[in-house]
Amino acid sequence: MFKSSVTSKIYSLLCLFTLACGSHENTENKELISHPVDSDYNDYLYQYSIIDALLAGVYDGTMTFGEIKSKGNLGLGTFNRIDGELFMNDGEVFKIRYDGSVHPVNDSEQTPLAFVKHFQPDTIFEWSGNAINYEQFEEWIGNNLHSNELYAIRISGPFSRMHTRAPAPAQKPYPPLVDYLADNQHEFTFEETLGVAVGFYLPEYIDRMNVPGFHFHYLSEDQQSGGHILDFETNRLKVEVDKASGVILENMDNRDFLNADLVKDRGNEMNTVERGR
């Protein structure tokens, strides 16, 4: 078993602003604000904004992918106006759009939500034999993880079937995400595809800040197809697992985030958005 009793630490760096303080000199605080994430935090999951903000309709952020690349080399998320699904592996960033097309991402593009980590696998699992689907995969790999820990995960192998989705870009005024995706989510099914899925397993206590449980995005080896995984079937997989020491959260500093309803319980909306149920 790949388990640990070490308690996960959560470091929340909330609402980071660039300060022009004038007469208020404080070298220690300036250093903290200028360098909120450095090499000491390379084993932490970094996230920009929170899932409940996206669920509430906050679809535009100011974080660039050039900045995101400095926070990690593996991860997922979305783009401003929720224009597609984000896939990041080995520092390369791709956008999977609603029409099924895949595009490399410029450093200047921005995101309203991204989760990334400097990926260094601690353990490798392999599956071969009987075909399993996504739900069965979650049960199998979940038995080898500790439910209170945080993990970045990379899956690679052949898939006899891969079922994914990607959203079309939204126009203002933005509705809550569950309402928007009801009519603007495009689904794809690929047969006999070879590729990589990247994502996370996160514990239930992360609810409202991130997605509890498993969350994966897929990209085919030929970089021609992918998306947010809804289901798959496979009989052979390599699963690389990297346990994170904790979470660093950087919130938006824009008016949409500050005015969003982040008190409402959106658990049911989360299940519908992430799993279609």
Domains and CATH numbers, the chain: 9-275 (3.30.1330.80)
Residue 37, CB-side half-sphere exposure with 13 Å CA sphere: 26
pLDDT given at position 102: 98
**Tens digit of pLDDT for each residue in 212-244?**
999 999 999 999 999 999 999 999 999 999 999
Region 57-79: mean pLDDT is 97
Asked if residues 82 and 180 have their Cβ atoms less than 8 Å apart, the reply is yes
Top-confidence residue, 1 or 83: 83
**Tens digit of pLDDT for each residue in 239-269?**
999 999 999 999 998 999 999 999 999 999 9
Bridge-based pairing of strands 226-244 and 150-167 is antiparallel
Q: Give, in order, the Cα–Cα distances in Å from 206 to each of 51, 58, 90, 140, 179.
A: 10, 19, 25, 22, 23
pTM equals: 0.85
Please state, in angstroms and rounded to a whole number, the distance separating the CA atoms of residues 52 and 265.
9
Of 59, 15, 113, 74, give the one whose Cα is nearest residue 219: 74
Please state, in angstroms and rounded to a whole number, the distance separating the CA atoms of residues 180 and 83.
12
Region 157-165: mean pLDDT is 98
- Degrees, nearest 5: CA angle 13-272-246: 25
User: What is the average pLDDT value for the chain, to the nearest integer?
Assistant: 88
Decide if pLDDT at 26 tops 60: no
pLDDT given at position 41: 79
pLDDT given at position 274: 86
- Torsion-angle region of residue 223: left (phi > 0), alpha (psi -120 to 50) or beta? left
pLDDT given at position 39: 55
Q: How confident is the model at residue 164 (pLDDT cuts 50, 70, 90)?
A: very high
Region 107-126: mean pLDDT is 97
Decide if pLDDT at 11 tops 50: no
pLDDT given at position 2: 44
Decide if pLDDT at 34 tops 90: no
Asked if residues 155 and 120 have their Cβ atoms less than 8 Å apart, the reply is no
pLDDT given at position 276: 64
